[in-house]
Amino acid sequence: MRVVLGVSGGIAAYKAASLLRLFREAGHEVVVVPTEAALRFVGEPTWAALSGQPVATDVWTAVDEVRHVRIGQQADLVVVAPATADLLARAASGQADDLLTATLLTARCPVVFAPAMHTEMWEHPATRANVATLRARGATVVDPASGRLTGTDTGPGRLPEPAELYAACLAVVEGAETEPAGEQPLAGVHVLVTAGGTREPLDPVRFLGNRSSGKQGMALAEVALQRGARVTLVACNLSSVADRERLTVVPVESALDLEAAVREHRTGVDVIVMCAAVADFRPKHYAAAKIKKSHGVGADGTADDSAPTIELVRNPDILAGLVADRGAAPTPLIVGFAAETGDESGSVLDLARAKLARKGCDLLVANEVGVDKTFGADTTTVHILRRAGGPETTVGPASKHEVAAALWDVVGALLPSP
């Protein structure tokens, strides 16, 4: 794949070097097109050495090759990381006063912008309007992460980590290749997807959580959008969400929050996909102040190293509740996910089949999880089980967008004809 890596002038430019390395290590050809300001943060020799390609910022270098046109024309992907507020404004207005903005005008491949800037700049109406314009033209603008910014500032505006950006770029390319232009098999269908992992608060600074990254749920939402669906995304603790302008995003934290959000937004939905990793238990008591460890001395004169006992209570079974509320009605079609490790009572598939019978949902997607398996990874293997019988479909090892495409194929075959 021929990748153009645009780099604009922000402190996060140093992260783009790691993104470049990820593309190169995967065998992709990368041409780096920095702005003049970007070279004040990372110099031309670094980009040339890491890419193995000549680097220029202006349209006058190698004029005989017409590089300001050719680079964009020959690209399979253009990604701008970081994309400053200035770069987003120039791209949205169609300026072409340097090699990067000229390349953006000539590119006919997928284009990904990864903004990075201070929170006030990201939230300014001018920046939001520029982002909306770029998204309306078909570009992908990845929402920045929240965290420590330059100096002591914190908030949304931080460039996502290189591995996360790399996965997002591959997902955009895979989506463009998977869905032919004009093919909208889910047009007119409203889907609700849950993604991420719930957090059960213990005290103001601690929570019980899980390892879910939300990548599979996001892939399901993105592929559904590509297929023409209207998508409501219930996002459990996701730091960034792509395609926010085209999604209805409902942020939640705990399992009880998730249950309330799904019940509130299920009206008129044709398909519910419960992909989020939901905690089975939550602390019975929430401590209003931080729980502190003891520094006292016990009765026997030794240090008191006791730990508090945390009592847990069960969370509601949201999936089973949705099925019960639906009753005998044909819609919404309900899809559950089973993240299993397997144990002495059975394999992952054994446990998934039992869960499908117990929950009563229409489809159950089973995958094996654990340390270094599925959670946070870019590839996975799943088994799609049908309540009504029929073959169990295995997908993978495959990217999470390929898994999403396979699941929507199965779902589409079960939906009534328009």
Give the pLDDT confidence of 130-182 residue by residue, as tens digits: 998 898 888 999 988 877 787 777 778 889 889 889 988 988 887 765 544 44
pLDDT at 116: 93
pTM, two decimal places: 0.62
The answer to whether 109 and 81 have CB atoms below 8 angstroms apart is no
How would you label 117-130 residue by residue, b for 16+ Cβ within 10 Å and e otherwise? bbbebbeeeebeeb
Domains plus CATH for the chain? 2-178 (3.40.50.1950), 190-287+310-414 (3.40.50.10300)
Determine the distance from the C-alpha atom of residue 376 to the mean position of all C-alpha atoms in its chain, rounded to a whole number.
10
The answer to whether 282 and 315 have CB atoms below 8 angstroms apart is yes
Residue 367: active-site member:
no
pLDDT at 144: 87
Give the CA-trace dihedral at 145, 402, 16, 6, to 10 degrees: -110
pLDDT at 95: 92
**What is the bridge-based pairing of β-strands 230-236 and 248-252?**
parallel
**What stretches of 52-161 show up as alpha helix (H) in DSSP?**
67-73, 85-92, 99-106, 119-123, 125-136
pLDDT at 22: 94
pLDDT at 112: 95
Q: If DSSP codes are grouped into helix, strand and coil, which group holds residue 218?
A: helix
pLDDT at 223: 87
pLDDT at 181: 45
Nearest to 83 by CA among 34, 50, 24: 34
Measure the CA–CA gap between 279 and 274, rounded to whole angstroms: 13
The answer to whether 113 and 37 have CB atoms below 8 angstroms apart is no
Measure the CA–CA gap between 284 and 313, rounded to whole angstroms: 5
From residue 233, alpha-carbon distances to 81, 135, 219, 256 in Å are 25, 18, 11, 16
Backbone torsions φ then ψ of 390, nearest 5 degrees = 100, 175
pLDDT at 94: 93
DSSP state of 144: P
Measure the CA–CA gap between 224 and 335, rounded to whole angstroms: 14
pLDDT at 61: 73
pLDDT at 243: 64
pLDDT at 11: 92
pLDDT at 288: 93
pLDDT at 399: 80
From residue 1, alpha-carbon distances to 110, 162, 379 in Å are 12, 18, 19
Residues of the chain with pLDDT under 50: 179-182
